[in-house]
Amino acid sequence: MSQSQYITTLERQINSLNQRIDQKIMSGQKYLDEARKHRMLLRKIQSQRVEQRKSIISRMFPLFA
């Protein structure tokens, strides 16, 4: 799986998790576990995007990497 496919998969998981969180908010239920998963997924996406930028920069400027 490429990095872009991995990020797309994570974004889909976040979207479905957001829908679950919204449903729980509307029904007055607690959503602590979902919020933790949401933060974890956001961190994964952020770290993957940072790695993408680093790899692009290192390919463009191999002396600086």
Instruction: Name the residue with tokens 């390919």.
Output: 59
Do residues 24 and 31 make contact, with C-beta atoms less than 8 angstroms apart?
Answer: yes
CA distance 16 to 18: 5
Give the pLDDT confidence of 1-39 residue by residue, as tens digits: 788 899 999 999 999 999 999 999 999 999 999 999 999
pLDDT value, residue 64: 59
Residue 1 has a CB neighbour count (10 Å cut-off) of: 7
> Which residue from 41, 47, 32 is spatially nearest to 12, judged by alpha carbons?
41
pLDDT value, residue 62: 72
Give the pLDDT confidence of 37-50 residue by residue, as tens digits: 999 999 999 998 88
